[in-house]
Structure 1
Amino acid sequence: MRHLLAAVLLAILSAFSLPASAQQSRYLISADPIADTPPGVQAWRVQYWTTNGNGARFAVTGIVAAPREAIPPRPRRVIVWTHGAWGVAEKCAPSLSPKFFAATAGIDAVRSGYVVVAPDYIGLANPTMHPFLVGADTAQSVLDGVRAAREIPGAAAGSRFAVWGESQGGHAALWTAISARSYAPDLTLIGTAAAAPPTDLAANLREGSDKNARALLLSFTLHSWSTLYGFSLDPIVNRTNQGIVRRLAQNNCVNFDKKPKLGTILGILTIVRATKNKDIARIEPFGSFARANSIDAARVPGPLLIAQSSNDTIVAPAVTRKFAKAVCRRGTQLRWIDMTGDHGASARESAQETIGWITSRFDGNPPPNDCRRI
């Protein structure tokens, strides 16, 4: 009996000697403070565990930001920022960029008292292929990012959260809404906001009016899906152009501040010509996979906000509006924001109204419904 009591006492003392994060962490691997942050913001570069849609486990990364002030008596409200397309190469992770804070519209919410969780997703800043526009894989990495943030004592993140994303991140936000209840019942989603979201993937890759942007995004998609799932590119491009697709995806991160290199321009023009009459909706297995990872309006819970510019040349406005009408037919409460700027400004242009809408959801106010005017 004496030996048993000694063993129990040793176990208790050992537990108390561990850091709080080591005692409590189930998802969080590490949280390293970031020195250079915007005024009033504290942030951590995090690594945490997630699983993909097939249950495989991955260590992924991201950034968690919170107000630089005393920990409040109640847990802070959480917004998950789901980023737009930065690329599919490991080096393209937003958390690796020195411009992360300037480029991340969601950081504005920290000034309103929110914890902002900004996942990189699987395959960015970690050595596996990024599942570009793959719904379940992305959603689960987003939800596990919230869980990881809750294990950072200084963040004081609560279990109630909203998700807000732009472009690829709009697709991620909608998939997060679809997956939240089943994958993360310990969390409570209070609202979903999507700026310029790709909803019908094949239609978006076909109907965006900027053919050069379409070619680059198609290259990201083809490289990601063929690498992860073994889909042959032969029905879409010949062997020479398959090499160009790979190089475009492996060598390029999206950068709105710099003009692309000559080799990138020539590669994009080649893919524009090679895919001019190709519609992945009609080419298997790409068509079926695109449909499986598009957004089913019937599965997206409300309340919902969608912001879309009528001048967007990358995410076709008509495709987004068609999706919004389908959501409304399901009786989902939808806030619709019309904009006139370019695609890259979608979240910035709608940020003030979106953060206000999210705050109203946390406050428990009845959500507005714009379905009659869409």
Structure 2
Amino acid sequence: MVAVAVFLTPASATAQAANARTLVSATPIAGAPAGALAYRIVYRSMTGRGGQAEATGIVIVPAGAEPRAGRDIVAWTHGTTGIADACAPSANSWRLSIIAGLAPMIQQGYIVVAPDYLGLGSAGTHPFLVGADTAHAVLDAVRAARDVRRGRTTGRFALWGESQGGHAALWSGRLARAYAPELRLVGVAAAAPATDLVANIAGDGNAAVRALMTSYAGVSWSQIYGVPLSTVTGPVGQDLMRRLARRCVTLDGLKLGTKIGLARMIHVLRDVDLAALPRWGELMRSNSVERVPLGVPLLIAQGSADVIIAPSVTRSFATAVCRAGQRIRFIPVAGGDHVTIAKRTSEQTVEWLRERFAGRTDPSDCATL
């Protein structure tokens, strides 16, 4: 792999010297929006348990003259694509098309970084919905994006994600100050975020979604945390979970083989309450998003027709965080589904991001929740 030259800012150089989290390579890729350049990056990060790992992602950089003060960064955190290496966005032709609001963000002059997370396109197990691991990978991707620049960055960044990526954005916002103190977070936007994993994974929602999320979480967590799948189901169910975990979620939905596997998995899980299993319930609760203020402005978007992330769960989270003192811009979308929610609210979100970078007072809809 041939990497383009990278340029280190003092802040990122200091972080690298202290923590050995560095950009490994940045390789040009095709498909960037007009007026931008795109790169597939490999960078070093750290697991939630202190081990070092490499991760991959994409950085999109405006090609025009930079502002005197440098460029701001937006980290886009993607929704669930799967947990197998083949599911890594940066390794697929649709890698840029899943980034909501990409062209307007480039027009605003932002650098956009879209991490794959750990274990997608890189060595090791993907820590599916594991909060600290994901947050580290996202924040280190922001650090790596600063090193791709041929000029200055401001040190300011924002987070924006959907679904699993909403969970990633919220966890990253929670850990940003402690993990990446040299960076300044200005706001977090989350579209249909996974917040309460007991409700989101093991709740009473769509049975097929529950079966797929249980398979992804089960296989991932059994390897990350060492909890045997035998505590969930028997040999037939374990084999089925592992086979489903090798399949990716595509923009066109689920392939026939995945649908057949899910029908069988629904049957296997009919009497299983994952949240009631001691270790599994504990892990779902510990990786849920705390209902406490982030210390920065927050935007949440949610569609009323979402069958993957229940609107009532998202609203309950938003209401609780409001009561704890967080200001929230809440965007409800009547009839909005899960797959399109980030793109349907992208114009409002990009404008909200612009105002956060400009330092304007953040609006709050807490009174209406």
The question of 1:127 aligning with 2:123 is answered yes
Q: TM-score scaled by structure 2?
A: 0.92
Aligned partners of 1:65 and 1:155 also within 8 Å: no
Aligned partners of 2:106 and 2:112 also within 8 Å: yes
The question of 1:298 aligning with 2:292 is answered yes
Aligned partners of 2:186 and 2:357 also within 8 Å: yes
* Structure 2 SS opposite 1:55: coil
Letter in 1 for 2:344: E
Letter in 1 for 2:249: V
Find the aligned partners of 1:295 and 1:259 in 2 and give their Cα distance.
28
Runs of 4+ in structure 1 deviating by more than 6 angstroms, as ranges, are: none
Aligned partners of 1:192 and 1:304 also within 8 Å: yes
Aligned partners of 1:302 and 1:334 also within 8 Å: no
Aligned partners of 2:53 and 2:118 also within 8 Å: yes
Which ranges of structure 2 fall in alignment gaps of 5 or more residues? Answer: 17-21
Q: Of 29, 50, 55, which aligns to 2:50?
A: 55
Q: Of 328, 337, 346, which aligns to 1:334?
A: 328
- Sequence identity percentage: 44
The question of 1:169 aligning with 2:150 is answered no
Q: Which residue of 1 aligns with 2:19?
A: none
Find the aligned partners of 1:299 and 1:190 in 2 and give their Cα distance.
14
Q: Which residue of 1 aligns with 2:97?
A: 102
- Shift in alpha-carbon separation, 1:258–1:167, aligned structure 2, 3 A: closer
Which ranges of structure 1 fall in alignment gaps of 5 or more residues? Answer: 1-18
Find the aligned partners of 1:331 and 1:275 in 2 and give their Cα distance.
39
* Structure 1 SS opposite 2:194: coil
Aligned partners of 1:163 and 1:193 also within 8 Å: yes
Find the aligned partners of 1:195 and 1:292 in 2 and give their Cα distance.
21
Find the aligned partners of 2:315 and 2:128 in 1 and give their Cα distance.
23
Q: Which residue of 2 aligns with 1:278?
A: 272
**Larger C-alpha radius of gyration, 1 or 2?**
1
C-alpha displacement of 1:209 = 3.1
Aligned partners of 1:297 and 1:323 also within 8 Å: yes
C-alpha displacement of 1:220 = 0.6
Letter in 1 for 2:296: G
C-alpha displacement of 1:259 = 4.6
Q: TM-score scaled by structure 1?
A: 0.91
Q: Of 262, 270, 275, which aligns to 1:268?
A: 262
Letter in 2 for 1:219: S
Residue correspondence of structure 1 range 19-98 to structure 2 within 5 A: 21=7, 26=16, 27-98=22-93
Find the aligned partners of 2:87 and 2:283 in 1 and give their Cα distance.
24
Bigger mean CA offset, 102-111 vs 122-131 = 102-111
Find the aligned partners of 2:192 and 2:47 in 1 and give their Cα distance.
25
Letter in 2 for 1:64: V
Letter in 1 for 2:139: L
Find the aligned partners of 1:207 and 1:174 in 2 and give their Cα distance.
21
Aligned partners of 1:84 and 1:166 also within 8 Å: yes
Between the two proteins, the alignment pairs up a number of residues equal to 354
Letter in 2 for 1:184: A
Q: Which residue of 1 aligns with 2:190?
A: 194
Bigger mean CA offset, 199-208 vs 83-92 = 199-208
Find the aligned partners of 2:6 and 2:362 in 1 and give their Cα distance.
39
Aligned partners of 2:56 and 2:116 also within 8 Å: yes
Letter in 2 for 1:277: D
* Structure 2 SS opposite 1:288: helix
Aligned partners of 2:74 and 2:112 also within 8 Å: yes
Aligned partners of 2:23 and 2:44 also within 8 Å: yes
Find the aligned partners of 1:106 and 1:232 in 2 and give their Cα distance.
41
Letter in 2 for 1:42: L
Find the aligned partners of 1:256 and 1:59 in 2 and give their Cα distance.
26
* Structure 2 SS opposite 1:338: strand
